Amino acid sequence: MRDSLNDPKVSIVIPARNEEKTLGDVLSSVFSQDYPRDKLEVIVVDDCSTDSTPEIATRFPTNYIRNQSPLGLAGSLNRGIDESSSSDIILTLHADCVPQAMSWLRHMVTPFSDPTTGIVTSFLVLPVEKIPYPSRYFCYIYLAGWFDQPASGELERRFQQISFAGNKCDAYRVDVLRKIGKFDMAFRVANEDIDVSEKVNRLGYKILLCYQALTAHTLSSHQNTIKSHFRKALWGW
């Protein structure tokens, strides 16, 4: 049996707004992780959902928080970070991104044994055949070339140093995140991930892409119209 004494304490912050289609799958995967429960807390920050997101979130042993007024993505992430309790690592996970294995969290935290690692980002996957054709022209994951699975050579490599995290599924060393002042509220809709990455790079910390921590970005499979893509782009989630 694995000794959990040296496992870092992790807070997973999940911002959500009207995520009834996907949040249940995300939380089911999170709570099935092969990771000590006393070293893990899950915080769902509900940014004024009008669907069944609250009911789904509270079916699980989460710390559920509802914003009194919409804060947007950056504000919701910051509120979740502020609510986290003495964690070593903050992991931000969007409510439409489903971890693909029970070992996902362990793969995400392993690189932090190197004190120069500031951020670890998950490898996003999305089966192309499940994306409706209108979505293929708008989905940035499809355009970026993230497909079904990483190539065998990438799995063997395990990690790659990159310049920017994606903020869909990223783990942060807590002291680094607090040094940079968390997420800048000026970036209400987008680019907060680029801003954070640049600040972390300037501090001299590494950003690593973890090929073994696979996360499926599922929302794009529900976006069937041009209108839905623009709605997502304007909301920023």
Residue 229 above 70 pLDDT? no
> Using one digit for the tens of pLDDT, what is the confidence trace for 209-223?
999 999 988 865 555
pTM value is 0.87
Chosen CATH of 10-235 out of 3.40.140.10, 3.90.550.10, 3.40.640.10, 3.40.50.880: 3.90.550.10
> What pLDDT sits at residue 215?
93
Residue 140 above 60 pLDDT? no
Give dist(CA 55, CA 51) in Å, integer. Answer: 9
DSSP 3-state of 77:
helix
Residue 232 above 90 pLDDT? no
N-term to C-term CA, the chain: 39
Q: Note the maximum CA span of the chain.
A: 51
> Using one digit for the tens of pLDDT, what is the confidence trace for 172-200?
999 999 999 999 988 766 678 889 999 99
Banded pLDDT at 224 (limits 50, 70, 90): low
> What pLDDT sits at residue 147?
44
The better pLDDT of the pair 133, 38 is held by: 38
Compute φ and ψ for 125, nearest 5 degrees. -130, 150
* Per-residue tokens: 55: 């009911």
> What pLDDT sits at residue 131?
61
What ranges do the domains of the chain cover? Answer: 10-235
> Using one digit for the tens of pLDDT, what is the confidence trace for 65-113?
999 999 988 999 999 999 998 899 999 999 999 999 999 999 999 999 9
